A and B are shown apart, each in its own frame.
Chain A
C-alpha cells in the first residue's frame, strides 16, 4: 500500500531537518545552557551554575551596550548607503535598457569576492602612510596632508570606514534585486504618468518606489540581517579598534570567548544577540517573506 502524501513529504524533509536539528539547534541549545554557568576556559575546568549572573554582567558592561549601539549604527549606515547607491545604479541600468547588459554583469563582480579579501583590500586603500585614498585626495588638493584623515585610526570615524568594504561588496546585490523589481513595472504606467506631466522626482517617489515596496522591504531585511552579523571585514581591518570604536556585537562575542576566555559571559551575550536577531527575523518573515505560501 502507498504511504500517504503527508508521510512521504515528511520522509523527504527528515534528513535536512535532522541535520539542522543536530548542527544548528543543538549548538544553540548548548549556547543558551552555557550562558547560565561560569565556565573556566581551560578544557575540563570547573563549571559552576550562576543563574542569570552572566546576563547581569552583560548588561552592566559598557562594552556590551556600546557594541549593541555600534552594531545598530553600522547596520543603518551600511543598509542606507547600499540602498541609495543600489537604487541609483538600478535606475541607471534601467534607463539605459538592454544595451547596458554587459556592464550589469561586470557590476556584479564584488559579490564573488570573499569578505576577508574585501576588508583587506580596503584596509590597504585607507591605511595611514601608504594608503592610496589619502594620497589621491592630497594630490587632488582636497587634503593638506595625506594622513589628515585617519580612516582606520580615528575612533570618531572608524565605524564608517570599516563599513565601506561591506557597502562595496553588496551594493551589487541591492542593485540586482531592485533592477529585477524595476523590470516588473509596466511601461504603460510610466508612460501614462509622463503624459499626465509627472516629472522625474514625482515619478520616483509617487510611482516607482511605492510599486517597488515589497522588493525593497525584502532587500533591506536580507541585507540588514547580514550587516548586523558582519565580522570578517571588521576583524581584518581594525580587529574592533582603535579603543573598541569599531567593535560590533560579533567581534565582542568572539573576543570575550577567545581572547578573554569567558565562555559563560560570551554565551549570555550571544543569546541576547540571537534573541534580538530572531525578533527582527520574526517580524520580517511574518510580514513580508511568507515563503512556501499557497499562491
Chain B
C-alpha cells in the first residue's frame, strides 16, 4: 500500500503524510442520518454547534497570551506595570517600540540573528541533503548506523556540549562571531534536517535517477539535475525548520556570544537584568521578533504541517 501511495504522491508531500483532502476522498463516503459526514466527523447539527462553541473558547484562551503581549507593547511604559493591569491600552502609543528599537545593540542583534540563521540553514542543507540521499537511496549498513547516530545527537542536551564547543570555537579564533554560533545551531538542525530530508527522498521513485543514469548522467549529476528539483518542496520545508531552530535558539547564543555577535533572544533576556525590569520595551521587542515568523507560518502552513507530522506518522 505504501508503494502505491508513494508513486501517486508528489514528492512535496511524502508518503504517509496525510494531506487531508486526499485522505477524505480516498475513504468511501459514508451516509448516516441523511447527512454526508463520515468517520469521526460529527453529524448532528446540535453537536456541531456545541463543538464550534468549544473550539471558539479554546481559540480565545490559546490566542489570548500573545494578544495580551501585543496590547501591552502599545501601552505607555507606566501603564505597562499598572496595578491592577488592564487588558487593552488606555492610550495607544508606539513609545515602547521606539524605546526598544532605539536602544544600542538591538538593531545589530537583528542583523546577527538573520545572519546566523541564514548561515546555519545553508550549512544544514548542504550537509543534510547529500547525506539523507545517501542514506535512503543506498540503504547500506553505514547509512543505517549513521541515521541512528544522527538521531541520538538530537537527544544531547545543549547545555552539555555548549561550554566545550565555545572553547573550541575560541581556539579556532572564531569566538563571538555569527559563524561560530551558526555552527553551534547546525548541531541542532542537522540531525533534524537529515531526518526530514530522508523522508522526502523516500517519496521519490527509484526509476527516476535510473532513467537519468541510463541516459548518461553520472550519479552525482542525476542527484543534482533530476532528484533535487523533484524534492525542492521538501528542501524548502527543511530550510524553514533549520531557520526557525536557529532564529529561536537561546542557550548556545547565551554561551557563545558576547557583544559583537549577540542575537535578539539574548538581548530580550538581558533587558531583564541590565536595565531593571523594562517590561514595555521587552514586550515590544518580543513582538517585533515573533511576528515575521508567525506570518511565515500562516503563509507556508501546508508545508510546515507536512514537516511537523512527517516523522511521527511515518513509522
Residues on A facing B (Cβ under 8 Å): 5-6, 8-13, 15-17, 19-20, 23-24, 26-28, 30-31, 34, 89, 91-98, 100-101, 103, 105-117, 120-122, 124-125, 129-132, 135, 138-139, 146, 168, 171, 173, 176-177, 179-188, 190-191, 194, 208, 214-215, 218-219, 222, 225, 228-229, 231-232, 235-236, 249-250, 253-254, 257, 263, 266, 270-271, 273-274, 277-278, 280-282, 285, 288-295
Contact = CB atoms under 8 A, between A and B. Distances in A.
A231 B265 CA distance: 13
B158 A291 contact: no
A3 to B, nearest CB: 9
A93 B41 CA distance: 9
- Nearest 10 A-B pairs (CB), nearest first? A187-B39, A12-B134, A9-B138, A16-B131, A27-B164, A114-B248, A30-B164, A180-B309, A281-B155, A270-B160
Interface of B: 2, 17-18, 20-21, 23-24, 27-28, 30, 32, 37-42, 47-48, 51-52, 54-55, 58-59, 62-63, 65-66, 68-69, 72, 81-85, 87, 126-128, 130-131, 133-140, 142-144, 146-161, 163-165, 167-168, 183-184, 186-187, 190-191, 194-195, 198, 219, 244, 247-248, 250-251, 265, 268-269, 272, 279, 282-283, 286, 289-290, 293-294, 296-298, 301, 304-305, 308-309, 311-313, 315
Contacts, number: 334
A18 to B, nearest CB: 9
17 contacts: A9-B135, A27-B165, A94-B40, A95-B51, A97-B37, A97-B42, A108-B305, A117-B290, A120-B272, A132-B85, A177-B313, A183-B24, A184-B23, A250-B159, A257-B163, A292-B144, A292-B198
User: Which of A12, A94, A106, A229 is most buried by chain B, counting CB atoms within 10 A of its CB?
Assistant: A12
A277 B127 contact: no
Given A13-B143, A114-B289, A108 B51 contact: no
Contact of A232 (B138, B250, B308): B250
Given A112-B290, A113-B294, 13 more contacts: A20-B153, A31-B161, A96-B48, A173-B308, A184-B23, A191-B32, A215-B313, A222-B311, A229-B158, A254-B159, A263-B163, A270-B157, A270-B160
A28 B160 contact: yes
A187 B27 contact: yes
A108 B127 contact: no
Contact of A187 (B40, B59, B152, B160): B40
A91 B164 contact: no
B286 A92 contact: no
B163 A9 contact: no
Contact of A13 (B135, B309, B312): B135
Contacts of B154: 225, 281
A228 B155 CA distance: 10
A29 B307 CA distance: 32
A259 B293 CA distance: 33
Given A6-B138, A130-B81, A191-B39, A285 B151 contact: yes
Contacts of B305: 108, 176, 180
Contact of B190 (A20, A107, A288): A20
A194 B33 CA distance: 12
A292 B313 contact: no
B288 to A, nearest CB: 10
A274 B296 CA distance: 34
Nearest to A93: B55
Nearest to B295: A112
B69 A124 contact: yes
A91 to B, nearest CB: 7
Contact of B83 (A129, A171, A184): A129
Nearest to B148: A285
A19 to B, nearest CB: 6
Contacts of A107: 59, 62
A24 B191 CA distance: 11
A231 B250 contact: yes
Contact of A92 (B39, B55, B244): B55
Nearest to A281: B155
A119 to B, nearest CB: 9
Given A229-B157, A257-B163, A273-B157, A135 B85 contact: yes
Contact of B131 (A15, A132, A194): A15
A194 B298 CA distance: 37
A98 B42 CA distance: 11
A116 B62 CA distance: 18
Contacts of B304: 108
Contact of B308 (A9, A17, A177): A177
Contacts of A115: 248, 250
B152 to A, nearest CB: 6
Contacts of B296: 112
A132 B68 contact: yes
A107 B298 CA distance: 10
B194 A16 contact: yes
Contacts of B2: 295
